[in-house]
Structures are given as structure tokens and as C-alpha cells.
Structure 1
Amino acid sequence: MTTLFGWLNDQLLRMQWLSDLVAYVLHDLAGLDLAGRVGASIHFFIYDVIKIFILLSVLIFSISWVQSYFPPERTRRILGRYNGIGANILGALLGTITPFCSCSSIPLFIGFTAAGLPLGVTFSFLISSPLVDLASVILLASIFNWSVALAYVAVGLVLAVIGGTFIGRAGMEGQVEDFVYAMPNVELEQQVMTRGDRAAYAKEQVADIVRRVWPYILIGVGIGAAIHNWLPEEVITGLLGQDKWWSVPVATVVGIPMYADIFGTLPIAEALVAKGVGLGTALAFMMAVTALSLPSLIMLKRVVKMPLLVLFTVIVAIGILLIGFLFNAIAYLFI
């Protein structure tokens, strides 16, 4: 059974067949030396781009099909039935089935807040939605392994629940811009969707998300290929090696100004870990890019006041740092 699972994981997630096919085309047909930097970089780029787009399309279609059962109105009603930390947990879990970047999650955050949901619950959703989605779990497993993927999900959800709970108990409802509370709360009748409707919706989501993220995927894979094949390992480990205490803060600070989906950061994380960077450092970089990107903070500033924005940023940043240090300390359990 273990052998069968390993074979399925290699062929379906890691797509070893695709790697072999790309290697055959480049080496046997095109005559490229895959042991050289140029050949290895081209192989890395083509293989990773095709693999990510295949997985992304299949996963987003599947997730969007499930998501069609949870339109914003229904999600809002479900969240409204719960209180306390249970509501934060549910908000974080519902965020995992929304394949959005942080900027795309903000309109839902506005709608939930305007509908009267507790502020802490909406922030749990806002943190988990870009940070932990089902597609990222599968992609992480395809690049690293299932233990890393599941551990990432676990810590991401914990960060969302704790961050939302802390914000909820800080009593900062007055730090939301007035226009958010003034927005009309319209109850829309839930649309009955047929299988054809759900399939059409899922296809639209695939097309929309691929259209939004493809530049970041190409850039991310390109950077990953450069790191993997052109930057000397001693240079990278000298700056961001697992034994360097500053590696996690540096990775977090570097990630914040960037704007990319998790799908674009995964190839970079893969290349960094392969070069000796700590797993926690790579995950901290991914989390900073997806949860604290500068464009998303600018958008969030339009709907919340500065004290709440600072509190949110500080809580999430501290959480990312702690997670990074933790994973660096226990990385031997996963890799």
C-alpha cells in the first residue's frame, strides 16, 4: 500500500512522468545538456510551469464546484450562527475554500462586516483565505511532501484563529471606516444551480484565476530556476541558512513588499529549500507574500483605520516569525 501511495504521489502530484517527458524532449530531441546550468534551468522552468498550471486548473475547478454550494450569502448566514472562538475557527475554515488572493478577499471582508458579523471572525476569514486554500495544500504536497503541506495548513489555521480572536477581543469595531457599516445589507435569494451551472461557474473561476496569476507563476518559476541553477549554495546559505537567526525576519521583510499568489511563491520556496535554506524561512517568505503583501495592506487601509491596520499587521507578522522559527527548529521531522 505504501509503495502504491508513493507511486501515485510521484506520478499524479509530482508528475514525474512530465519531468521525464520534458527531459526527453530537451535532451534527446533538442540536444540540450541537462547537467549544465542552461539546460537545467530550462528543464526546471518548463516542467514547473506546466505542472503548476495543470494542478492549478484541476484544483480550482474542483474547489470552485464545492464553493458553488457556499455563496457569500450562505457563508454569512453560517458564520452568523456561531459565537466565540468557534466562530473564529469556522471563519478560518471557510477561508480555506475560497481560492482568492488577499486583495480579492477584502470585498468579502467588507460584506461580512457590513452584515454585522463579529470583527474577529471576519479577520480570521481574511487571514486564512489567501494564506491557506485547498489548492495550496496539494501544490505544497507536490513540491515537498504531505507532512509539510498538512503542517502548513495547521499552522496557517492556528494563526488565523488566534489573530482573529485577539483582534475581536481588542474592541476595535470603531476602527472600521464608517462607510463599511453604512453599506446596505441586502438578503439575496440563494440561486438554485444545476450541475451545468456549477460546471460553468467552475470553468469561469479557473479562467479568471489563471488569468490573474499566470504572470506571477512565470516570474516565480523563473526566479526559482535562477536560484536553483545559478546562485551558489554557499552564497544563499551564508545569507539565509538555517543556522542564521536572522533568516526568518529577513525572509518576512523581503516578502511583504511583493505581491503574488501562493502559486507564484511555491517555486521560489522549493528552490530555496533545495539550496539549504531552512523550511521555516521559506514558509515565512510565502506567508508574508500572501498574507501581508503591500498592495493588500494598501487596499485594507481603505476600509479600516490605521490603529486596526497596525494591529492586524503586527499580529500576523509576529505569527509568521514564530511559525518560521518553529519550522526551522523541527524541519528534520518533515524533510
Structure 2
Amino acid sequence: MADITHALSRPRLWQGLSRQRVWLASAAILAVLFLVRPAQGTASLVFTAEALAGTAPFLLLSIAVAAYASATGADNLIARAFSGAPVMMVVFAALVGALSPFCSCGVIPLVAALLAMGVPLSAVMAFWLASPVMDPSMFMLTWGVMGLEFALAKTAAAIGLGLLGGYVVMALGRGGALSNPLREGIGNGGCGGAKLRAPKPVVWRFWQEGERRARFRREAVSVTLFLLKWLTLAFVLESLMLAYVPAETITGWLGGSGAGTVLLAALVGVPAYLNGYAALPLVGGLVEQGMSPGAGLAFLVAGGVSSLPAAIAVWALARPPVFALYLALALAGSVAAGLAFSLLA
């Protein structure tokens, strides 16, 4: 007994369990269902398997895009977006943020590097707001789960949000506001800064180099496991939502197309948002039950930009005025995107 207790106390074991918490959550939910409601457990398991099979083509495309970007070094293209006239810099930064995949260093160290290197906050804000909303892998999965029209709308929302943020910050900056946006003690971004200071050329034919082929394989495996664990949890939760949340409740709260409904969806999206890939099936299920597409878009955009984990990271990096502006722009932009989509859909 003492040996077992000693083994369980090892930090390495707990670290391993922490890394697998998403898989463990899915398994725990299904296990409880089979114990309490066996019929629903079976139904949820079948629903999850069928949903994963249905999104498999888009899942494979997402994995291929992410692995290709890593193997070729396409994330080095980011450095080209932050040069030139400030007005055009905002445009390029919004496009790069919305359309390009990046390495696992993440948005926050890249933002720290950009600001530490003197890149205008307007361009950084455009990139900062657009990047969490969309990338090629997300586009493929959004297409598979929500349809092409919704995927295009979410891409347009990401670019529009980046442009809104960039030009608002540019206007405020002319009056002397928002100077010195970083908190004291923030470094230069680590590996993110290295990519910006000395960008390497992109090698599109990565298969000609053994090290890049190995990187492609590693990234493909990593992305596959990442997407599968989050989509599995999302589809399990969606099966429960469809089974136990009455459609009339969703329609009553989020079924309209007015500003109040879209604003409510955006506000709910901030604390309720778990992960960009996990949120897609959940919103898809809500739309099937009566949620308006505009409210669904507002939920995804607001949640992606200002979810609690992202907000905490921004708070740790930026001074309070910049943090407040980031949240205000995220909320205003997501509501505007939701209203526009409601009118056009």
C-alpha cells in the first residue's frame, strides 16, 4: 500500500494526468452516463463516433495544413506584415493574423516581441485581435461543422475585427494615448522575437530535407491528438446538450436576430468558451436548436478573442488601459460581426 501511495505522489505521474485531462474528462462523462443512463451513454458514444467520421475529411485537411506550415517555416512570413506605412501595416497585420498559421510559441510572446521591437500598437492590435479567431486549420473545420458560408463569415469577422482594432488604436495614438503599452519587466518575446528579428526563408518543398520531413510528421501527430481530444469532448457535450437542453429554451434566449440577442451571445461567449475547436460543435448544436447564426458568430468571435485564458494572458502582458481597450474592441467587433451576419444570412 505504501508503494502505491508513493507512486501516486510522484510529480511526473500527476503531470501526465494533467496533460491528459481532456481525454479523461470525455472518458469520465461517458463512464458516468453508462452507469446512470446506459441508453444515453450508448447514444452519446454513437453520436460522437458519427460526428468524428463526418468531419474526418476536414480534420485531415486541417492537420495537413498545420503540419505543412510547420515543416516549411511559413510562420516566418509574419515579419513581412509589420513593415511599411502604418495604414497598410494594419491591413497586412489583420490579414496575417486571420489567415496564417503560427508555431506553438503562441500569440502572446509574438505580441511581446513586436511591441518590444517598436512596432506600432495599431498594427500589433490588428494582429492580436484577428489571430485567435481564424486560421487555415480552423477554416477547414468550421466549413466541415458549420458550413462554407459560416466559415467565410468568420474569416471576414476576423479580418474586420483586426482592422477595427488597428484603426481605433491608430486614432487614439494620434492624441498621445496608449503610449508604453507593455507592463514593466516584459521581455522581448523569446522564440517569437527571434522569428521577427531574423526571419528565415520559407522552404515550400519541405520533403527534400530530412529534418523538415521529420518536423512534418511530429506536427501531424501533435495536431491530430490535439484536435481529436477536443473534438471528442465537444461532441460528447453536444450529444448531452441535444438530449437534455430543450430547443425552445435556446430559441427563447438566443433565437432572435436583434442586437440584444447578439450582445447576449457575445457576453456568454467570454466565460463559456473552452477552445476554438471544441466550441464549433457546441455552437453547431445550438444553431440546430434555434440559435440565430449571427448570435453563433458573435459567440465564437468574442469567446476566441476574450475568453478567460486569453484575457488573463493579455492582462499579464499589457497595461490596464490597453487591456481594457482590447476587451472593448473584442466585444464591439463580435457584436458588429454578428449583426452583419444576421442581416446578410
TM-score bucket of the superposed structures, by smaller chain: 0.7 to 0.9
- How far did residue 91 of structure 1 move? 1.2
- Structure 1 residue identity aligned to 2:200: Q
Residues of 1 paired with 2:327 and 2:89: CA distance? 21
Residues of 2 paired with 1:99 and 1:271: CA distance? 29
- How far did residue 51 of structure 1 move? 4.3
Residues 1:43 and 2:53 aligned together: no
CA distances 1:64-84 after superposition (whole Å, capped 9, x unpaired): 4245545565522x1243222
Residues 1:220 and 2:223 aligned together: no
TM-score (norm 2): 0.74
2:256 to 221, 233, 242: 242
SS in 2 for 1:179: coil
- How far did residue 181 of structure 1 move? 6.6
- How far did residue 188 of structure 1 move? 4.0
2:285 to 264, 271, 282: 271
- How far did residue 291 of structure 1 move? 1.0
The CA RMSD over aligned residues, in Å, is: 2.9
2:135 paired residue number? 133
Residues of 1 paired with 2:308 and 2:103: CA distance? 16
Assess, with a 3 A threshold, how the Cα gap between structure 1 residues 257 and 325 changes in structure 2: closer, same or farther.
same
2:114 to 91, 106, 112: 112
Comparing 153-162 and 177-186, the one that deviates more: 177-186
- Structure 1 residue identity aligned to 2:160: V
Residues of 2 paired with 1:188 and 1:245: CA distance? 46
CA distances 1:250-295 after superposition (whole Å, capped 9, x unpaired): 2222221245332111101111111111001111111122111111
2:200 paired residue number? 190
Preserved contact between residue 57 and residue 206 of structure 1 (Cα < 8 Å):
no
2:246 paired residue number? 232
TM-score (norm 1): 0.76
- Structure 2 residue identity aligned to 1:177: R
Residues 1:179 and 2:180 aligned together: no
2:162 paired residue number? 160
Residues 1:294 and 2:308 aligned together: yes
Preserved contact between residue 125 and residue 165 of structure 2 (Cα < 8 Å):
yes
Residues of 1 paired with 2:85 and 2:213: CA distance? 34
Give the count of matched residue pairs.
294
2:217 to 180, 198, 203: 203
- How far did residue 308 of structure 1 move? 0.5
Runs of 5+ in structure 2 lacking a partner? 1-38
Preserved contact between residue 167 and residue 312 of structure 1 (Cα < 8 Å):
no
Residues 1:56 and 2:70 aligned together: no
Comparing 132-141 and 196-205, the one that deviates more: 196-205
Identical aligned residues as a percent: 22
